[in-house]
Structure 1
Amino acid sequence: MTAQLAPPAPAAAPTARPSAPRPRGRRRQDHPAWFLVPALLVLIVFFFVPTIFNFVYAFTDWSSFHSDIGFVGTDNFAALFTNGSLLNDLRITLVYAILVAVFQNVFGLILALVLERDTPINRFARVAFFVPVVMSALAVGYIFQAMLKPEGALNQILGFVSGQHVSIAWLGSTTWTIVVVALIHAWKWMGLSMLIYLAGLKTINEDILEAARLDGAGWWTTFRTIRFPLLAPAVTFNVATALLGSMNGFDIVQATTGGGPGGTTELLNIFIFRTFGQGLFAQATTMSLTLFLMVTVLAFPVIYFLRRRENVL
């Protein structure tokens, strides 16, 4: 009689080991906020620290004519605001900024409407119009300065077309030179405005436009009543950046006219640059602080008005 062997007992299922908790120190080191540290350091070193020193040195007599720096209070501000040149340069800077904002946004919007369709030619044209944005502003200024001379390329082209000798001093008028320089500035940056407006146009729902067409609305009526109101966020961004950015303009004007003729294009930054070159560091710092405060005071009403317009629309 043979003994029956009992079947082997099933092996116990392995129990899952609990994962070890992550150390607190490592979790803190992997926090996404650490990626902001390099950018924050650059911002502190190259923006906040110079801005603080700008406020400090504006109330001193810092210059290249003596080594000591003394506190003079508000004497620099009193001397500057009694100087007619500063007030005149502030007026020129404001006029220049308004012209640039108008030209840049009008040209950028027209380009966006013309190049809205996604065709190979339009894609190439978009890239071509965006190229000046990445070019050096000084290079753009010197190129146009050479083109707009009385013997420059523009007059030669006009003379070839008309069959007569043309020698117009495009940068020599005390009335219209600031308009010409503002057009150059707008030409350089209109490609950026074009892209912002293109992005805004692409976000408009086609069903809304199709419903307007079925109701008999033409292109202009559709643009005026539907498309342009829906572009309000793009208008806010482009107008604010063009207006406030051109108030800090320097390189294009310096390369084309140097502030001339007769000081009619002398922006405040050019005045500051010349004052620094004369060794009057405290006065130049006071001017830059005045420009900073003017841009800050102007920025809030402009942005508030444009954002309020968005809410109304």
Structure 2
Amino acid sequence: MSTMEKARVPRAPAPPPPARRRAGTVNRRTYPAWFLLPAFSLLLVFFFLPTLFNFVYAFTDWSGFKAAINPVGFDNFTALAADGSLFRALRITLLYAVLVAAFQNLFGFGLAVLLERDTVLNRIARVLLLVPVLMSALAVGYLFQALLKPEGSVNQLIGGMLRHPFDYAWLGDTTWTLVVVAVIHGWKWMGLSMLIYLAGLKTIPEDVIEAARIDGASRWYAFWRVRAPLLAPAVTFNVATALLGSMNGFDIVQATTGGGPARTTEILNIFIFRTFGQGLFAQATTMSLLLFLMVALLAFPVIHLLRKREEIL
């Protein structure tokens, strides 16, 4: 190759100079996931490890009456199955969860429909209805315990309206006390359900409502046949959270009735609390494991059915 031909060979372009990083910019090689390490450490210590030990101690004879802990297999489960008190507590827990889910969603849905319009009065009412959600559950329970006593303010108000003394024991009736406590639980969390239903109502397109009205649908028919089915995702969230959350309930029942009268409101967490207080740690751990499994086994079918309902609607 001649000298002229060598001169005509194009040279590779020089690499561009490295871009200077501006002051204050974040290096792409940083790892922000490391900042989650403190939170995960707390979860590991206070949630995952206790849950793991819960599975372990349920198969031992751990108690407050002896120092040694020995494995006993499924003896705790068979002993609890032979005693009808465990199944009674499970039945009361399921009934309580269903009642709480019904009341909480009925109250929340009704309030969302009532306060849907963006007026100043409605905005103030929404904020006030969210106050019970922020309150302590124990405080709510003790407040209603004082109000619902035979000499409490509720009976005095009813007696004033009826113009004769009224001293009904709202928390002392073995038939209706569980319903009363479920209403209190639903009242405390109805503001959260109201907020979810309000968000669902606000996301419904106005074109759909206008089309239904043009077709001759009344306001009532358009609401139940057009708007209500479009709230299926909100219903799924509210029903699932209310049902599964109330199965882990403890505070309100403990503050109002403590499991009475005659153990008619003794949900499983109250039963676990009493058993653990008696020093029977392994039995209490076994019951908490059963509660964990019951909630887990109930969560998946409930969410699956509600999701299927969304697809149908």
The answer to whether the aligner puts 1:57 opposite 2:19 as a matched pair is no
Equivalent residue, structure 2, for 1:231: 231
Tell me the matched-pair count.
296
For residues 242-253 of structure 1, the aligned pairs below 5 Å read 242-253=242-253
C-alpha deviation, 1:158, in angstroms: 1.1
Q: Judging changes above 3 Å, is the alpha-carbon distance between structure 1 residues 19 and 302 closer, same or farther for their aligned structure 2 residues?
A: same
Equivalent residue, structure 2, for 1:74: 74
Equivalent residue, structure 1, for 2:145: 145
Cα distance in 2, alignment partners of residues 101 and 30 from structure 1: 45
Q: Which shifted more, 217-226 or 244-253?
A: 217-226
Equivalent residue, structure 1, for 2:217: 217
SS of 2:311's equivalent in the other structure is: helix
Cα distance in 1, alignment partners of residues 100 and 311 from structure 2: 26
SS of 2:130's equivalent in the other structure is: helix
C-alpha deviation, 1:232, in angstroms: 0.7
Equivalent residue, structure 1, for 2:117: 117
Compute the RMSD of aligned alpha carbons. 1.7
For residues 29-40 of structure 1, the aligned pairs below 5 Å read 30-40=30-40
C-alpha deviation, 1:160, in angstroms: 1.5
Equivalent residue, structure 2, for 1:280: 280
Instruction: Structure 1: state its 5+ residue gaps.
Output: 1-15
C-alpha deviation, 1:38, in angstroms: 2.7
Cα distance in 1, alignment partners of residues 106 and 128 from structure 2: 18
Cα distance in 2, alignment partners of residues 20 and 120 from structure 1: 53
Q: Judging changes above 3 Å, is the alpha-carbon distance between structure 1 residues 93 and 19 closer, same or farther for their aligned structure 2 residues?
A: same
Equivalent residue, structure 2, for 1:309: 309
For residues 168-225 of structure 1, what are the alpha-carbon distances to aligned partners after superposition, in whole Å with 9 as ceiling and x for unaligned? 1111111100000000000000000000000011100011111111212112211221
For residues 216-267 of structure 1, what are the alpha-carbon distances to aligned partners after superposition, in whole Å with 9 as ceiling and x for unaligned? 2112211221111111111000000000000011110011011111110000
For residues 60-209 of structure 1, the aligned pairs below 5 Å read 60-209=60-209
Instruction: Structure 2: state its 5+ residue gaps.
Output: 1-15
Cα distance in 2, alignment partners of residues 34 and 203 from structure 1: 37
Cα distance in 1, alignment partners of residues 18 and 29 from structure 2: 23
C-alpha deviation, 1:42, in angstroms: 2.1
Query: Which runs of at least 4 in structure 1 moved beyond 4 Å after TM superposition?
Result: 26-29
- Partner AA of 2:65 in structure 1: F
Cα distance in 1, alignment partners of residues 28 and 255 from structure 2: 50
For residues 82-125 of structure 1, what are the alpha-carbon distances to aligned partners after superposition, in whole Å with 9 as ceiling and x for unaligned? 11000000000000000000010011000000000110100000
For residues 64-97 of structure 1, what are the alpha-carbon distances to aligned partners after superposition, in whole Å with 9 as ceiling and x for unaligned? 1011111111100110111100000000000000
SS of 2:76's equivalent in the other structure is: helix
For residues 140-187 of structure 1, what are the alpha-carbon distances to aligned partners after superposition, in whole Å with 9 as ceiling and x for unaligned? 000000100000000111112221111111111111000000000000
Q: Judging changes above 3 Å, is the alpha-carbon distance between structure 1 residues 21 and 115 closer, same or farther for their aligned structure 2 residues?
A: closer
- Partner AA of 1:116 in structure 2: E
Equivalent residue, structure 2, for 1:44: 44
Cα distance in 1, alignment partners of residues 42 and 204 from structure 2: 38
Cα distance in 1, alignment partners of residues 125 and 252 from structure 2: 24
Q: Identity over the aligned pairs, expressed in percent?
A: 70
